[in-house]
Amino acid sequence: MLNVAVVGIGKMGLLHAGIMNALQGVRLCAIVDTSKFLLGFAQSLKQEVEIYEDFQKMLDQSKPDAAVLATPVFLHVPMANACLQRGIPFFLEKPLSLTSREAEALVAGVEKRGLTTMVGYMMRYVETFAKAKQLLQSGALGELITFQATIYVSQLFKTGKGWRYNKQESGGGVVIGQATHLIDLLRWYFGPVSRVSAHTRNWYSREVEDFAHAHFEFASGLTGWFDSSWSVRHHRLLEVSLTVHAANGNLIVCDDYVKLYLDKAAAGFPAGWTNFMKPDLFEGVEIDLGGPQYTRQDSAFVAAVKNGTRLESDVRNAYEVQRIVDAIYASAAGHGAPVSL
């Protein structure tokens, strides 16, 4: 039985706690929050779980086998370090840190100790985006030339409250808070980024950006751009869309489908369109709580902790995503001047 503690029981913490509690071979042993209200509520629902206001005290007294850290970004690195010092594997809600520099020592420490970690870039576990990875890897498209990508949601149309809109606590706005999902996918698909140039715009928020547009050059030679915002209309849910143009065709992927078009048959795919709709790709999960991707992700983390293995979506990966975020902010501050990584 794997004893898991959940730290921070806001929206994501509630969700991970529910999934962890439901997974076979896992026990939700402790929860931590500074809000007496949330803690009291959680305790009243689940009397056998230990509750703590103090994170360090929980680690020392409850001694969990793994921790889920779902706290505001400024707490991520200090909390992850506390887990590292005690050799406790951790799952960290994305993003990794306020800046990449802040996380350097943590990443080095995790790698030195060989600790299992995961950062919550869950798009990899959405059926369509996972399928797109396979199609890109198949080589059917030939050399990749350029891409365009968007990540939008209708979320914020007035000044927001809370830590996400406070740069000290969040590290930034829509880029770090949301577009990092897309940046992670782009890195996963296309490899290391060598250079970015970017523009951002604050409109509803005072301290952080609500709109961002960035151009990327990858080490492979591929170039392309993304556009992101949490303040665009007509996007009820967070929607990611990516089109890749290549020598032998193109690929379109979004939350709902993957469409591959090939000039000539290749890698077992015929010429013309090959479409995969989400229902084609769906596979059930042990428990679906807010979307099967979260369960697949938490299951992968649990399995890696039990086996003591590394995950692709670990703190090193998240650190590389964070370096791109830093470059986007640096470039935007210089009115789009290119920044090399």
Partner 1 sequence: MIDKIILGHNQFFGVNHLEAQAGNEREAYFSEAARIMEIVNFSFDQGVRGMMMSTHERAFVVAGEIQKDARLQRELGIYLLVPYVAKYIKQANEKGLVNIVKDALSGTSLQDKLGMFWRGGMGLLTRDFKKILTAMIDFEVAPFASLNLRAIFLHDVMTDLALGWEVPEVFQLYAEHVQGKYGAIPAFCTKNLGRLMRLLGRAGIDNPLIMASINKLGYQVNPSRAAFEQTLREHRLQLLAMSTLAAGYLKPGEAYEYLFSLPNIAAVVVGVSKKTHARETFSIIRHYQSAGKPREPLPAATHEMLA
Please state the closest distance from residue 17 (CB atom) to partner 1, in A: 7
Nearer to partner 1, 68 or 106 (CB): 68
Please state the closest distance from residue 334 (CB atom) to partner 1, in A: 29
d(CA 270, CA 122): 31
Element (H, E) at 307: helix 292-307
Nearer to partner 1, 25 or 37 (CB): 37
Nearer to partner 1, 3 or 194 (CB): 3
Rg (CA), the chain: 20
Please state the closest distance from residue 93 (CB atom) to partner 1, in A: 12
Please state the closest distance from residue 332 (CB atom) to partner 1, in A: 22
d(CA 196, CA 223): 10
The crossing angle, in degrees rounded to 10, of helices 315-333 and 100-113 is 170
Please state the closest distance from residue 328 (CB atom) to partner 1, in A: 21
Nearer to partner 1, 13 or 89 (CB): 13
The terminus-to-terminus CA distance of the chain in angstroms comes to: 43
Nearer to partner 1, 52 or 190 (CB): 52
Nearer to partner 1, 177 or 224 (CB): 177
Please state the closest distance from residue 239 (CB atom) to partner 1, in A: 5
Give phi and psi for 260, each to the nearest 5: -115, 130
Do 248 and 240 touch, CB atoms closer than 8 A?
A: no
Can you give the binding site for partner 1, defined by CB under 8 A? 10-11, 14-15, 17-19, 21-22, 35-41, 43-46, 155-156, 160-164, 234-237, 239, 254-257, 277-279, 282, 284-290, 292
Please state the closest distance from residue 66 (CB atom) to partner 1, in A: 17
Nearer to partner 1, 34 or 138 (CB): 34
C-alpha distances out from residue 266 to 46, 134, 220, 247, Å: 54, 14, 21, 12
Cis peptide before 95 (omega within 30 of 0): yes
Q: Which residues, other chains included, contact 60 with Cβ-Cβ below 8 Å and sequence gap of 6+?
A: 86
d(CA 332, CA 208): 12
Please state the closest distance from residue 161 (CB atom) to partner 1, in A: 4
Burial annotation 208-226 (CB, 10 A radius, 16+ → b, else e):
bbbbbbbbbbbeeebebbb
Residue 26: strand pairing partners: 2
